Structure 1
Amino acid sequence: MSASVLVTGITGNVGEFVAEHLLRRGASVRGAVTKAEKAREKWGSRVELVRFDFLEPATFDRALDGVSGLFLLRPPTIADPKPMMPFIQRAKERGVRHIVFLSLLGIERNPLPPHYRIEKYVKNSGVPYTFLRPSFFMQNLNTAHCADIRERSDIFIPAGKAPVSFVDTRDIGEAAAAVLCDPERYAHHGYTLTGGAALTFDEAAAIFTSVLGRPITYSNPSAGAFRREMMCRGMPREFVNVMVALYFTTKLGLAKRVTPELEALLGRKPTTFEQYVRDYADCWR
């Protein structure tokens, strides 16, 4: 089915795979970006790129012009979701017929992260919606935590000993594209997206060790030590606070749930953690 979709976060861990799979399905894709240079190098003429910023309402109409579907992603730098609300309202006014929001595993029972309020606002907007609630991204380990693994051979994350149902963002992107191209089937539903198994970070480190051929440890720092280190590295305070909160819920065991929902959306088994490490091995070498 052909569709016209606006993808926010198209240069990120999930958005690029959403766009790729939408294109494979024959959809017309518009990418919302703050700076077009990097995105233009990747997408060329395959994706229409428009300047967009949640904090600049003047950018809303051009981004929303003529689109029927919206892939909505909260930028990591926005801890308070209030700036996103006017955009959601404008999407409704401009005729968007389906919003797919990238939310968070277990958010329906956890009002602390900003995703909870965004879900509530989207639902109350009256626009048909689908909430994708993924577990811990595998790709966090080759982006936000890449340097620790590559340069220090350590997974520096304050997540305790609880199992985590790691999920590959390539799978999330494929699932999101399927949902966006068939809104009547998937509207007004929330899906909890996980990998096929839950692993502790110690078990994840063992897989890294096996694939990379050198010892990789999991140091399991305290939340305070993690926060101090991230701040010293120059990460924005609000972003660090969100990371600490999410890893705290992981430590409590809230990310261990494994569901069949991603497999049902994909029509195949989710990507395994070992396959992910093999595919991205060059990132840590």
Structure 2
Amino acid sequence: MIKVYYIKYRGKIWGKILITGASGNVGQYVAKYALQNGDNVIVAARNIEKLTLLFGQEVNKVKFDFADTTTFEPALENVDRVFLMRPPYMGDYHDLIPFIEAVKQHHIKLICFLSLMGIEHNPIPPHYKIEKEIKHLHIPYSFIRPSFFMQNISGVHALEIKNFNRIIVPVGNVLTSFIDTEDIGKFSARILHEPMNFQNTAYEITGPEAIGYNKVAKIMSEELHRSIIYPKLNSRVVQRYWTEIRGLDKKYVKVMGMLYFMTRRGLAKRTSSTYYQVMGEEPTNFRQFVKKHLRSWQ
């Protein structure tokens, strides 16, 4: 059981939260719940127009690009907490090192890094080395290690479900403890709201149950009122399909392939009660998620 130790403070002593990837699946929810918590938030992304559409005119926004070091200092001004998310298109951990080093110079109270479930035992994905670098630089951290995003089903895999009633994922009958990215965002915002209470921690968070893609197809069939199937496909065939037919970026496909390799090894089937212990509520289950996002596949 996880123990959370609270330290009392007189008044608010921390400043702003910089949220990288704020226009993405997780980042937008981190921002949403950080704002609800009353925190001073700066949302960051390469596309300011998209940030404006998501958050309106009143939320502080900054143009930010991990590949452009000139965007670091304006983004980090008066910031004492950072939500760090590796962009899907960046498969090389070296690409994030300059920003992490810039964070070090700002004496941050907490960097909340969105990592991967089971990453402490798997040095292949870039998240492993990113965690190591943050520790090496002695930056106070909290590593959020979620299981597979439910939003992968409503995002990158939605095209096949919507148009061909098929789920194209190369994991066979292995179970996955899917988690809703909104729950990840809410959880991360809680960590960032109380930075001194969560320094140098790592949390593995999952949904309430582990299910196979056959059950995913069954639930979606019931909620969409049409037959969704899950064909068993070889991982190489699927990766060729993603690259040659779908036209997905090769670096993105490589990272996705590594993640599904981890799933096939059974590293995504564990469930944890961490979310409930920290948040005091149950995470979203897969049927609830499908009901909430029906339009993604209609």
TM-score (norm 2): 0.94
Deviation at 1:69, TM superposition (A): 0.5
Matches within 5 A, 1:149-160: 149-160=161-172
- Range moving further from structure 2, 104-113 or 180-189: 180-189
* Cα distance between partner residues in 2 of 1:192 and 1:185: 17
Aligned to 1:31: 43
Distance in 1 separating the partners of 2:279 and 2:230: 31
Report what 2:256 is aligned to: 243
Q: Helix, strand or coil: the match of 1:160?
A: coil
Query: Which is worse superposed, 109-118 or 258-267?
Result: 258-267
Tell me how large the CA RMSD over aligned residues is.
Answer: 1.0
**Mapping of 1:75-86 within 5 angstroms?**
75-86=87-98
Contact 2:23 2:54 in 1 (8 A): no
Matched with 2:4 is: none
Aligned residues: 285
Matched, 1:185 2:197: yes
Deviation, structure 1 residue 192: 0.3
Structure 2 match to 1:205: 217
Shift of 1:3: 4.6
The answer as to whether partners of 1:171 and 1:266 remain within 8 angstroms in 2 is no
Tell me: CA distance 1:102–1:207, structure 2 relative to 1, closer, same or farther (3 Å).
same
SS of 1:218's equivalent in the other structure is: coil
Q: CA deviation at 1:70?
A: 0.2
List structure 1 segments (4+ residues) > 4 angstroms apart after TM superposition: none
Q: Deviations over 1:202-248 (max 9, x none)?
A: 01110001111101111132111111111122211111011111101
Whichever residue aligns with residue 279 of structure 1, its letter is K
| Aligned partner letter, 1:72 | L
Unaligned runs of 5+ in 2: 1-11
Aligned mate of 1:274, from 263, 269, 287:
287
- Larger deviation, residues 125-134 vs 44-53: 44-53
Q: How does 1:160-171 map to 2 (within 5 A)?
A: 160-171=172-183
- Identity %, equivalent residues: 39
> Aligned partner of 1:30: which letter?
I
Q: Is the 8 A contact 1:163 1:200 kept in 2?
A: yes
Shift of 1:95: 2.7
Deviation at 1:144, TM superposition (A): 0.7
For 2:296, the aligned partner's letter is C
Separation in 1, partners of 2:27, 2:220:
26
Amino acid at match of 2:295: D
Give the TM-score of the pair, scaled to structure 1: 0.98
Shift of 1:61: 0.1
Q: Please say if residues 21 and 85 of structure 2, whose CA atoms lie closer than 8 Å, have aligned partners that are also in contact.
A: yes
Superposition deviation, residue 73 in structure 1:
0.3
Contact 1:3 1:181 in 2 (8 A): no
**Match among 76, 79, 84 for residue 72 of structure 1:** 84
Find the aligned partners of 2:199 and 2:117 in 1 and give their Cα distance: 18
Contact 1:31 1:47 in 2 (8 A): yes
Q: Which runs of 5+ in 1 are unaligned?
A: none
Deviation at residue 47 of structure 1 after TM alignment: 2.0
